[in-house]
């Protein structure tokens, strides 16, 4: 369907239906928990990447306990 006022009205109506009948709620939940072992030193989670384990320092003496 070419771009037209009729097409825009159809998209608006579809959006209303999705909002009215959607079984989910759109949103963002950006709270994270981080647990570390006593042997881990200088841990700081990366603000974007999830592979922060690559940049950790381990205290081998504390890991033996």
pTM above the 0.75 mark?
no
**Half-sphere exposure of residue 30: CA atoms within 13 angstroms, side-chain side:** 5
Domain ranges of the chain: 5-64
pLDDT at position 62 over 60:
yes
Reported confidence tier of residue 37, pLDDT bands at 50, 70, 90: confident
> What is the pLDDT averaged over residues 6-19?
93
- Is pLDDT of 3 > 80? yes
The residue-averaged pLDDT of 20-47 equals: 76
What is the three-class DSSP state of 34? coil
What pairs with residue 40 in β-bridges?
Answer: 58
């Amino acid at each position: 369907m070419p771009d037209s006022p009729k097409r825009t009205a159809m998209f608006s109506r579809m959006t209303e239906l999705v909002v009215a009948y959607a079984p989910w709620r759109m949103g963002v939940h950006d709270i994270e928990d981080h647990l570390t072992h006593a042997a881990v030193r200088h841990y700081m989670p990366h603000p974007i990447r999830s592979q922060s384990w690559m940049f950790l320092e381990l205290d081998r003496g504390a890991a033996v306990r």
